[in-house]
Structure 1
Amino acid sequence: MEKIKKQALFADLGLVAVAFVWGSGFVASKNALDSMSPMMLMTVRFAVASLLSGFIFRKNLKNLSKDTIKAGCVIGFFLFTAFAAQMIGLQYMLAGKQAFLTATNVIMVPFIYWAVKKHRPDQYNFVAAFIMLLGLALLTIDFSVGFSFNPGDALTLLCALLYACHIVVVGIYSKEHDPFALTVIQLGFAAIVSLAYVLLTGEFTLAIPIPGLINGLYLGIFCTFLAFLGQTVAQKYTNSTHAAIILSLEAVFGSLLSIMILGEDFTLMMFLGCLVIFMGILTAETKWSFLKTAFLKTKQDTPEKITEI
């Protein structure tokens, strides 16, 4: 029992670390974009991550079937397009604001799964969607000048939609294929397409300033490769609902770090929007099951306390 508790504790700490690293990725991306184009940054990030994952999981790449390669490429397509929309959108908006807008993908997933698998979302998903729309209005609309929705907002919501599609196809294909092989293939696909793009457009350059290169390497090593590996290992020792609560802190860390490191200024309305979206994320991911569990535990403990008196 003591061993299980220690494993659960280390799993929680690991997931907090993953959420923190993912949140810091918005800051690193914003800084890196001062030194290179969005697609060049993606080339560096995914090249580093794919080379590392390919080396670590090289045994999983033996005897790959055509179906596995195809599945990995489909997943890689959604990964590439989601990050492309995110990186381009980040040029027009605050990193902290983008952290929360990107996190709305968890609310979109059940509805995309509904469209693909005809599995209707429950009432919590519909409530979460309504909460998300309210939060988006508070976060993106500048009420002082009327309706204002900038390109960064639109691209980031497109990123959230594409990443939600990525989550759905990963869920489908990972049941049929080796998940580690799929990971290597999708990262490799994103790296190759990013490289092809910068070569064709003339954006490719090796003259990247040191600060930009450091941020790019940080994104590839920590925010992509190690974060994925940490999440995979940690979730062996905890349930998905508990993990979802902790990982949803990514948006919180992203906003806080953006304010602390980048000096971004959040208005009260934007803060309320972030808070509302976070409530929507918790509703969609956890269905408030942890409150139900706490209530039942309290109810069960009450008779014993009365008896003691």
Structure 2
Amino acid sequence: MRYYAMIITATIIWGSTFVLVKDITEVLGPAWLVGIRFALAAVILALFFFKERDVYLDKRNALYGCVCGFVLFAGYYVQTVGITDTTPGKNAFLTATYCVIVPFSAWLLMRRRPTRFSIAGAAIALTGIGLISLNGDFTMRFGDALSLGCAFFFALHITLISMLTSEKNALAITIWQFAVVGACGLTVAALTEPVPDLARFGLDDVLVMGYLTVFATALALLMQNTAQPHMTPATASLILTFESVFGASFSILLGAEELTLRLFVGFALVFSSVLVAEVLPAWLDKRRRLAAETAS
């Protein structure tokens, strides 16, 4: 349960960032935001865990972290470009289709055949996310195609984390991953975005950057990378879809959105998807064991 709690805590933190990110992108370009946020997170973790430097300076851990970092940056960047040509709700929904892709990417790369429960859970979760995120017509634009494309990168990232990380090397892979995302973000920002005007930065912006860097990046992703090896990729992807639930919940609490029947049903479906994928098969397996013991 400790590892499930860690990933759920991470989704709560990420859910709280939607309004913050929307506000700070008014003074900081998306690539600058990603680059600065991840570069600072890499430095913070490297300094905080300096005594563990032998682990994160290991060549194999560095290679694994770089691979995960490139894939994660691709997901973030494609998602950011995609949202410029679509609505936030459609972007969030199409991104969350990774929960359907992960069982099959894990099957392809890890030879873990998806169960009917994990596929059913993913479909239920996707329906719930659609109710939470989508509003109005669903016509496909170029930004929608990019948003769908980023889901493949996020699905690959979730699968790679399950393949390459363990509790022993999670810290090392996280640090290298942050360093690569930060370097890629700063490079793209320098080539495609204007230099940020620091005079426009207020105390609120500094506090938001601090929260995004320390909690939403360093802490949350370290918790994900530490906990994920203790569950299947399909399970992790379903739990991660709770980010959309918590994101909408924080919007309601902050007065940016109203709680409607549609949202409530969406929340219930996302929650029930985990029950279908995890609790139901465990309950059925327990019943089968009890029946077998009774028969014998």
Q: 2:201 aligns with which of 179, 184, 209?
A: 209
Tell me the TM-score normalized by structure 1: 0.72
Unaligned runs of 5+ in 1: 1-7, 301-309
* Distance change >3 Å, CA 17–CA 276, structure 1 → 2: closer
Equivalent residue runs for 1:1-309 within 5 Å? 17-62=9-54, 64-90=57-83, 92-94=86-88, 102-132=95-125, 134-135=127-128, 138=131, 145=137, 147-149=138-140, 153-175=144-166, 178-207=169-198, 208-210=200-202, 211-230=204-223, 240=231, 249-261=242-254, 263-264=256-257, 269=262, 272-273=265-266, 275-284=268-277, 286-289=278-281
* Distance change >3 Å, CA 125–CA 73, structure 1 → 2: same
Tell me the TM-score normalized by structure 2: 0.75
Q: Shift of residue 263 of structure 1?
A: 1.1
**2:78 is aligned with what amino acid?**
A
Q: Shift of residue 56 of structure 1?
A: 2.0
**1:215 is aligned with what amino acid?**
V
Q: Matched residue of 1:263: which SS?
A: coil
Question: 1:34·1:212 contact (CA, 8 Å) conserved in 2?
Answer: no
Question: 1:32·1:212 contact (CA, 8 Å) conserved in 2?
Answer: yes
Question: 2:10·2:223 contact (CA, 8 Å) conserved in 1?
Answer: yes
Q: Shift of residue 127 of structure 1?
A: 1.9
Which shifted more, 19-28 or 256-265?
Answer: 256-265
- Per-residue deviation, residues 66-118 of structure 1 (Å, max 9, x unmatched): 433222111001111122233344554347x7666544434422210112233
Aligned length: 281
Q: Shift of residue 228 of structure 1?
A: 3.4
Which is higher, the Rg of structure 1 or of structure 2?
1
- Per-residue deviation, residues 142-184 of structure 1 (Å, max 9, x unmatched): 56x5x42455654444333211211111222225982211111
Distance 1:11 1:171 in 2: 13
**1:93 is aligned with what amino acid?**
T
Q: Shift of residue 201 of structure 1?
A: 2.2
Instruction: State the Cα RMSD in Å.
Output: 3.8
Identical-pair percentage: 31
Distance 1:240 1:119 in 2: 12
